Amino acid sequence: MIDRPFNVLFLCTHNSARSIIAECVMNRVGSGKFRAYSAGSHPSGRVHPYALDLARQLNYDPSGLRSKSWEEFAQSGAPKLDFVITVCDDAADEVCPVWPGQPMSAHWGLADPSRVEGTEAERRLAFSDTHRMLHQRCSIFASLPITSLDRLSLQQRLDDIGRTKGASAREEV
């Protein structure tokens, strides 16, 4: 039993869209139970403008959002991580750093909304779809009775969340 919120790090290659959206969502739906962060293996250095627009439209506070390296979370003084979740397909195949304390990890792969081509409306819809899927997954995660599950059962639940279907017709999980 820990006496603080669970710290969860959402990882994606560029830390400009999916992981940023996941950070916003989990900080809202898991408020008091979770503290979410995001980072990337090769951060772009900027948050995608559509991700920022979406955050504002949905009343998330975008002021602290920034694209940053996962190395920040492997340094001394960084928050102790309880969970590390990759949200893009590229990051699932990358070698992640060894995190102090051996946090649980899972892969919740989603298509990159910033790679969608088409009209502005179609591209923005891709960001909305990503938000919807991450909101669904984070809500399920936040509702788990984490302290009453053994590590193996919790790992299975995290993996199952990553295979959640039905949030979007584009999702092929």
Identify the structural domains of the chain with CATH numbers, from first to last: 6-162 (3.40.50.2300)
Spatial separation of the C-alpha atoms in residues 10 and 133, rounded to whole Å = 14
- Cβ atoms of 117 and 43 closer than 8 Å: no
Residues 3-47: tens digit of each pLDDT: 899 999 999 989 999 999 999 999 999 999 999 999 998 999 999
CB-based burial label for 66 (10 Å; 0-12, 13-18, 19+):
middle
Q: How confident is the model at residue 164 (pLDDT cuts 50, 70, 90)?
A: confident
Task: State both tokens at 156.
Answer: 């299975």
pTM of the model: 0.90
Residues 78-98: tens digit of each pLDDT: 999 999 999 987 554 556 666
Write out the catalytic residue numbers.
12, 88
